[in-house]
Amino acid sequence: MREIVFDTETTGLDPRTGDRMVEIGCVELVNRVPTGRTFHAYFNPDRPMPLEAEQVHGLGDAFLADKPRFHEGVLDLLEFLAESPLVAHNAQFDFGFLNFELGACGHPELSLERMIDTLTLARRRHPGAKHSLDALCTRYGIDRSHRVKHGALLDAELLAQVYVELTGGLQIGLQLAAERPEQTVEIVRLAPLHREFRAPRPHAASAEELARHKAFLETFDSPLWTS
Protein backbone atom coordinates (compact mmCIF):
# COMPACT_ATOMS: atom_id res chain seq x y z
CA MET A 1 0.00 0.00 0.00
CA ARG A 2 1.33 3.43 -0.99
CA GLU A 3 1.00 6.33 1.46
CA ILE A 4 2.36 9.88 1.44
CA VAL A 5 3.58 11.53 4.64
CA PHE A 6 3.68 15.31 4.24
CA ASP A 7 4.20 18.56 6.09
CA THR A 8 3.74 22.23 5.22
CA GLU A 9 5.17 25.55 6.34
CA THR A 10 3.04 28.69 6.11
CA THR A 11 2.94 32.41 6.78
CA GLY A 12 0.52 31.93 9.66
CA LEU A 13 -2.34 29.90 11.04
CA ASP A 14 -5.39 30.56 8.83
CA PRO A 15 -5.60 30.76 5.03
CA ARG A 16 -9.02 32.44 5.34
CA THR A 17 -7.32 35.53 6.78
CA GLY A 18 -4.69 35.77 4.06
CA ASP A 19 -2.04 33.30 5.20
CA ARG A 20 -0.40 31.18 2.51
CA MET A 21 1.61 27.98 2.19
CA VAL A 22 5.30 28.57 1.48
CA GLU A 23 6.77 25.03 1.64
CA ILE A 24 5.65 21.43 1.29
CA GLY A 25 7.61 18.23 1.81
CA CYS A 26 6.36 14.74 1.00
CA VAL A 27 7.79 11.27 1.69
CA GLU A 28 6.57 8.14 -0.08
CA LEU A 29 5.92 4.97 1.92
CA VAL A 30 5.05 1.58 0.46
CA ASN A 31 3.83 -0.94 3.02
CA ARG A 32 5.00 1.56 5.68
CA VAL A 33 8.59 1.46 4.39
CA PRO A 34 10.21 4.64 2.94
CA THR A 35 11.05 4.16 -0.73
CA GLY A 36 13.45 7.09 -0.96
CA ARG A 37 11.10 9.05 -3.24
CA THR A 38 10.27 12.54 -2.00
CA PHE A 39 8.69 15.76 -3.22
CA HIS A 40 9.83 19.15 -1.95
CA ALA A 41 8.98 22.68 -3.05
CA TYR A 42 9.05 26.28 -1.85
CA PHE A 43 6.42 28.80 -2.95
CA ASN A 44 6.35 32.58 -3.14
CA PRO A 45 3.32 33.62 -1.05
CA ASP A 46 2.96 37.07 -2.65
CA ARG A 47 2.76 38.63 0.79
CA PRO A 48 5.27 39.62 3.51
CA MET A 49 6.40 36.94 5.93
CA PRO A 50 5.45 37.76 9.54
CA LEU A 51 8.41 37.77 11.90
CA GLU A 52 6.88 35.19 14.24
CA ALA A 53 6.41 32.73 11.35
CA GLU A 54 9.94 33.31 10.04
CA GLN A 55 11.32 32.56 13.49
CA VAL A 56 9.65 29.13 13.32
CA HIS A 57 10.82 27.97 9.88
CA GLY A 58 13.48 30.49 8.85
CA LEU A 59 11.89 31.29 5.49
CA GLY A 60 12.04 35.04 4.85
CA ASP A 61 10.95 37.36 2.07
CA ALA A 62 14.36 37.46 0.40
CA PHE A 63 14.61 33.67 0.21
CA LEU A 64 11.09 33.20 -1.17
CA ALA A 65 11.19 36.12 -3.65
CA ASP A 66 12.42 34.03 -6.60
CA LYS A 67 10.42 30.88 -5.81
CA PRO A 68 7.49 29.83 -8.03
CA ARG A 69 3.88 30.49 -7.09
CA PHE A 70 1.82 27.49 -5.98
CA HIS A 71 -0.10 27.30 -9.24
CA GLU A 72 3.19 26.94 -11.13
CA GLY A 73 4.13 23.73 -9.30
CA VAL A 74 0.76 22.25 -8.48
CA LEU A 75 0.69 19.67 -11.29
CA ASP A 76 3.99 18.14 -10.17
CA LEU A 77 2.67 17.97 -6.62
CA LEU A 78 -0.61 16.35 -7.63
CA GLU A 79 1.23 13.81 -9.77
CA PHE A 80 3.33 12.81 -6.77
CA LEU A 81 0.36 12.62 -4.40
CA ALA A 82 -1.73 10.63 -6.91
CA GLU A 83 -4.65 8.95 -5.08
CA SER A 84 -2.65 7.80 -2.05
CA PRO A 85 -3.72 8.27 1.57
CA LEU A 86 -2.08 11.38 3.05
CA VAL A 87 -0.47 11.34 6.50
CA ALA A 88 0.17 14.53 8.47
CA HIS A 89 0.54 15.67 12.07
CA ASN A 90 -2.46 17.79 13.06
CA ALA A 91 -3.65 17.00 9.56
CA GLN A 92 -6.62 19.38 9.60
CA PHE A 93 -4.15 22.28 9.54
CA ASP A 94 -2.12 20.97 6.58
CA PHE A 95 -5.20 19.86 4.64
CA GLY A 96 -6.75 23.27 5.22
CA PHE A 97 -3.84 25.10 3.62
CA LEU A 98 -3.36 22.57 0.83
CA ASN A 99 -7.04 22.62 -0.12
CA PHE A 100 -7.13 26.41 0.01
CA GLU A 101 -4.19 26.62 -2.40
CA LEU A 102 -5.76 24.03 -4.70
CA GLY A 103 -9.06 25.86 -4.75
CA ALA A 104 -7.37 29.21 -5.40
CA CYS A 105 -5.90 27.90 -8.65
CA GLY A 106 -8.98 26.00 -9.82
CA HIS A 107 -8.21 22.44 -8.71
CA PRO A 108 -10.57 20.18 -6.74
CA GLU A 109 -9.93 19.91 -3.04
CA LEU A 110 -8.47 16.73 -1.58
CA SER A 111 -11.03 14.47 0.07
CA LEU A 112 -10.75 14.36 3.84
CA GLU A 113 -11.33 10.61 3.56
CA ARG A 114 -7.69 10.39 2.46
CA MET A 115 -6.51 12.05 5.67
CA ILE A 116 -4.57 10.14 8.34
CA ASP A 117 -3.80 12.30 11.38
CA THR A 118 -0.83 11.13 13.45
CA LEU A 119 -1.82 13.53 16.23
CA THR A 120 -5.08 11.62 16.64
CA LEU A 121 -3.21 8.30 16.54
CA ALA A 122 -0.75 9.51 19.18
CA ARG A 123 -3.51 10.73 21.50
CA ARG A 124 -5.24 7.36 21.31
CA ARG A 125 -2.06 5.37 21.88
CA HIS A 126 -0.49 7.62 24.54
CA PRO A 127 -3.31 9.44 26.36
CA GLY A 128 -2.11 12.18 28.68
CA ALA A 129 1.38 12.33 27.16
CA LYS A 130 2.93 15.07 25.03
CA HIS A 131 2.10 14.62 21.34
CA SER A 132 4.28 17.14 19.53
CA LEU A 133 6.58 15.82 16.80
CA ASP A 134 9.58 16.49 19.04
CA ALA A 135 7.99 14.61 21.95
CA LEU A 136 7.10 11.62 19.77
CA CYS A 137 10.62 11.48 18.32
CA THR A 138 11.98 11.40 21.86
CA ARG A 139 9.51 8.69 22.89
CA TYR A 140 10.49 6.44 19.99
CA GLY A 141 14.23 7.19 20.03
CA ILE A 142 14.22 8.94 16.65
CA ASP A 143 17.22 11.23 16.10
CA ARG A 144 16.08 14.82 15.61
CA SER A 145 19.37 16.53 16.50
CA HIS A 146 19.52 18.09 13.01
CA ARG A 147 16.11 19.75 13.45
CA VAL A 148 17.13 23.30 14.36
CA LYS A 149 14.08 24.93 12.77
CA HIS A 150 10.91 23.54 11.26
CA GLY A 151 11.33 22.37 7.68
CA ALA A 152 8.63 20.64 5.64
CA LEU A 153 10.71 17.85 4.14
CA LEU A 154 12.74 17.19 7.29
CA ASP A 155 9.60 17.13 9.41
CA ALA A 156 7.91 14.78 6.93
CA GLU A 157 10.88 12.42 7.12
CA LEU A 158 10.75 12.44 10.93
CA LEU A 159 6.99 12.03 10.90
CA ALA A 160 7.28 9.03 8.58
CA GLN A 161 9.38 7.29 11.23
CA VAL A 162 6.93 8.27 13.96
CA TYR A 163 4.00 7.01 11.86
CA VAL A 164 5.63 3.62 11.41
CA GLU A 165 6.10 3.35 15.19
CA LEU A 166 2.53 4.44 15.89
CA THR A 167 1.19 1.78 13.55
CA GLY A 168 3.26 -1.22 14.55
CA GLY A 169 6.94 -0.39 14.43
CA LEU A 170 9.30 -3.27 13.83
CA GLN A 171 6.41 -5.73 13.62
CA ILE A 172 5.81 -4.39 10.13
CA GLY A 173 9.18 -5.71 9.05
CA LEU A 174 8.22 -9.17 10.28
CA GLN A 175 4.99 -9.03 8.32
CA LEU A 176 6.77 -7.95 5.14
CA ALA A 177 9.26 -10.78 5.50
CA ALA A 178 6.41 -13.24 5.76
CA GLU A 179 4.97 -11.89 2.51
CA ARG A 180 8.12 -12.70 0.52
CA PRO A 181 7.95 -16.41 -0.37
CA GLU A 182 11.19 -16.25 -2.33
CA GLN A 183 13.09 -15.82 0.92
CA THR A 184 13.51 -19.26 2.51
CA VAL A 185 15.17 -20.32 5.72
CA GLU A 186 17.38 -23.39 5.64
CA ILE A 187 16.61 -25.75 8.50
CA VAL A 188 19.64 -27.66 9.74
CA ARG A 189 18.80 -30.90 11.55
CA LEU A 190 21.45 -32.17 13.92
CA ALA A 191 22.04 -35.90 14.42
CA PRO A 192 21.12 -37.07 17.94
CA LEU A 193 24.07 -37.35 20.30
CA HIS A 194 25.12 -40.85 21.41
CA ARG A 195 24.85 -41.16 25.18
CA GLU A 196 26.20 -44.04 27.30
CA PHE A 197 23.47 -45.82 29.23
CA ARG A 198 23.66 -45.45 32.99
CA ALA A 199 21.54 -47.48 35.37
CA PRO A 200 19.34 -45.41 37.68
CA ARG A 201 20.84 -44.72 41.06
CA PRO A 202 18.95 -45.97 44.17
CA HIS A 203 17.15 -43.23 46.06
CA ALA A 204 15.60 -45.19 48.96
CA ALA A 205 17.28 -45.14 52.38
CA SER A 206 19.06 -48.32 53.46
CA ALA A 207 18.01 -50.35 56.52
CA GLU A 208 21.01 -48.99 58.43
CA GLU A 209 20.08 -45.39 57.57
CA LEU A 210 16.48 -45.94 58.65
CA ALA A 211 17.63 -47.38 62.00
CA ARG A 212 19.90 -44.39 62.65
CA HIS A 213 17.09 -41.99 61.77
CA LYS A 214 14.70 -43.78 64.19
CA ALA A 215 17.25 -43.62 67.00
CA PHE A 216 17.77 -39.92 66.35
CA LEU A 217 14.03 -39.19 66.59
CA GLU A 218 13.81 -41.02 69.91
CA THR A 219 16.18 -38.46 71.44
CA PHE A 220 13.48 -35.76 71.26
CA ASP A 221 11.41 -35.06 74.38
CA SER A 222 7.68 -34.79 73.54
CA PRO A 223 8.08 -34.06 69.78
CA LEU A 224 5.24 -32.25 68.01
CA TRP A 225 4.54 -35.09 65.61
CA THR A 226 3.53 -37.43 68.48
CA SER A 227 1.13 -35.05 70.25
Distance CA 42, CA 73 (A): 9
Phi-psi map region of 183: left, alpha, beta (phi>0 left; psi -120 to 50 alpha): beta
* In contact, 49 and 129? CB cutoff 8 Å: no
Catalytically active residues, by annotation? 150
Q: Which residues contact 146 (CB under 8 A, 6 or more apart)?
A: 154
The torsion angle over the Cα atoms of residues 162, 168, 174 and 180, rounded to 10 degrees, is: -80
* In contact, 41 and 24? CB cutoff 8 Å: yes
Which amino acid is residue 20, in one-letter code?
Answer: R
Distance CA 113, CA 220 (A): 86
